[in-house]
A and B are shown apart, each in its own frame.
Chain A
Amino acid sequence: MASGKSGGAVGNVKSVPSWLNSPAWSTPRHKGRLFPESPENGIKDKESKLQKKGSDVDKLEEVVEPPSVVVKQEVEGRGSVKTGNVESSAPLRSDSGNTSIFSSGSGGLSSDLYKKSSSLDARVELFMLELSRKRIHIAELQRMSGQGIPDVGSIRSTTWKLLLGYLPRNREDWSAELKKKRSEYAVFREELLVNPSELTRRKEAYEEAMNESGGRGFLPRHHITQDDHPLSLGSTSIWHQYFQDSELTEQIERDVKRTHPDIQFFCGDSEEAHQNQEALRRALFIFAKLNPGIRYVQGMNEVLAPLYFVFKTDPDESYAFHAEADAFFCFVELLSDFRDHFCQQLDNSAVGIRSTISQLNALLKRHDEELWRHLEVTSKVNPQFYAFRWITLLLTQEFNFPDSLRLWDSLLSNPDGPLEILLRVCCAMLLCVRERLLAGDFTTNLKLLQNYPSTDIHHLLRVAEDLRV
């Protein structure tokens, strides 16, 4: 679809001018039309932005006066605009544009490729703009993230940190806050992860006389308190604590090794993969020690994994280095909404997992009585069989990894909290396979819901959006 050029045709005929790909044309009214009369919104002319790097498109642009790429009305008063990696060049010619499309998970190639690619660049630019403000406008960020965060640069990593409240809203507070939090984490590591031998080694004043290599003689015996030896059974003994924790460490170890076995980042043979696993293990162990009420429950590793992945793959070196600490605190934040799902005693209470599942059930009944009746009554599929995993693991196990990252964009950016949108997405999942469910019996329905078929995540999110009251 390289037609649609006005002005002088220069040597390379296949190029598409950037102004044509401006999102001004890609508003819903103009879908499918190549030549809309005029963009509805005022076009902000950003001459400074038009720095094409010597491509043929330049010539075209001299001839025609192209509007700038970013057209959203809300964007105004750009102070420091990052022009960085955002290049509004023809998408078909720029490989980065193409690959970014696929990595941001937008379905297959379709006729609105232009719209997607140009809107990707536009979105990247919007995000960069928003993130570069002095005071971040959270509501705006939430709205933008709900459409999906582009998988470019540090955008997702920084946005998630902002959405979870880890980074404060004022940009200038960022470095102070990060330093504080990271040193807190280092303290946790020191205190909680060290084994008793280390502790005893540090505690005592180590007598140098003992180490003289020429000496002969009986080694002096030091009396120690009742609890300070490895076989002590006293509850105050650090050794006893250590051996009791060994059960916890074993459990965490087992789960960490099973996290995302298909992804090299977690389960490869490389040094990095081992380090990543170690980082996950440490963070989960520290969480378990700091929260004795809920300790470690199988599944927490799945909730931590996407956070750690996004932060660790941040191209910004300093952020990637501290990914473990950042992921830990964001994990705590995220889990604060969902803690009660992991606590067994609260299962039957008003905040427990059963109550949430019944909320989902009620939602389904409200939107699709027929399907609800079929599942509840006819095929007798107890929602606990499928919804338990969906809800406690925040849908990380139901979709492939890139899709679940996209899903988490919406989850984390919901102004009414992640649980509300989680329920709507679960309901949307049921609605999307409606025909198959209605046609099936207990066995087939259960199999279908426990191995949810792969689906277009954007479609799913649209359906979920429609369910919003």
Chain B
Amino acid sequence: MVLVLAMGDMHIPHRAADLPAKFKSMLVPGKIQHILSPGNLCIKEVHDYLKSLCADVHVARGEYDDDPRYPETKLLTIGAFKLGICHGHQVVPWGDLDSLTMLQRQLDVDILITGHTHQFKAYKHEGGVIINPGSATGAYSSITYDVNPSFVLMDIDGLRVVVYVYELVDGEVKVDKIDFKKPHQRT
């Protein structure tokens, strides 16, 4: 039972001041084992905050990130799943699922975490699953209207993943759940 947090596109301090208070109250250290962030944090203080929640933080480079040392893509394995992180501004057209699918096949991962559109998406295709946790602060985006703050918590348990989607709608936190299982390896 591994808990993996995916949140990105905070755009602190440029487009938002801080995470919503309700999110902050829920995020306490000690529960989460890994944090994956597609990028656009943008400053070091946000990275330190994520580190305070969990020691194992992985960040991919977003176009507004201050730190140039974040990689463009990052791959890791948690349990039986291979995960990949990429911000998504490199993939044109932005947010296009087919192109992201191609990226996922290139990286050869089961779950691809991507961002940039500030809109939550969970899309399944033959090669795996694409998850976009949206923007954790609800920051302005030029390609999406009505951005709601959202992030994603994945519970990886054997061959099954339960994805909990936390979204702030009208000031209230709504939690949704998505299940999927790793498909059997086909030759």
Contacts and interface: CB of A to CB of B under 8 A. Distances in A.
Contact of B181 (A210, A222, A232): A210
A217 B27 contact: no
Which size bracket describes the interface of A in this complex?
A: 20 to 34
B179 A231 contact: no
Contacts of B184: 213
A231 B153 contact: yes
Interface string A208-247: 0011011111111111101011111100000000010010
A206 interface: yes
Contacts of B13: none
B176 interface: yes
A33 interface: no
A211 B162 contact: no
Contact of B26 (A220, A222, A233): A233
B31 A217 contact: no
B150 to A, nearest CB: 11
A197 B157 contact: yes
Which size bracket describes the interface of B in this complex?
A: 35 or more
Interface in B1-41: 1, 3, 25-28, 30-31
B35 to A, nearest CB: 13
Nearest to B31: A243
A456 to B, nearest CB: 51
Interface string B151-184: 0010101001011111000000011111111011
A195 interface: yes
In terms of DSSP, what is the predominant structure of the interface of chain A? loop
A99 interface: no
A219 B180 CA distance: 8
In terms of DSSP, what is the predominant structure of the interface of chain B? strand
A216 B127 CA distance: 10
A78 interface: no
A226 B163 CA distance: 15
B185 to A, nearest CB: 10
Contacts, number: 87
A246 B28 CA distance: 14
A222 B1 contact: no
A224 B175 contact: yes
Contact of B178 (A211, A215, A221, A246): A221
B183 A218 contact: no
A195 B178 contact: no
Contacts of B160: 201
A209 to B, nearest CB: 11
A219 B164 contact: no
A231 B181 contact: no
Contact of B164 (A201, A211, A230, A233): A230
Given A196-B1, A213-B186, A218 B123 contact: yes
24 contacts: A197-B162, A198-B157, A200-B162, A207-B179, A211-B180, A213-B183, A213-B184, A214-B126, A215-B124, A216-B124, A217-B123, A219-B123, A219-B178, A220-B178, A221-B165, A221-B176, A222-B179, A223-B176, A224-B175, A224-B177, A228-B175, A230-B153, A231-B27, A231-B153
Interface of A: 195-198, 200-201, 204, 206-207, 210-211, 213-224, 226, 228-233, 243, 246
Interface of B: 1, 3, 25-28, 30-31, 121-126, 129, 153, 155, 157, 160, 162-166, 174-181, 183-184, 186
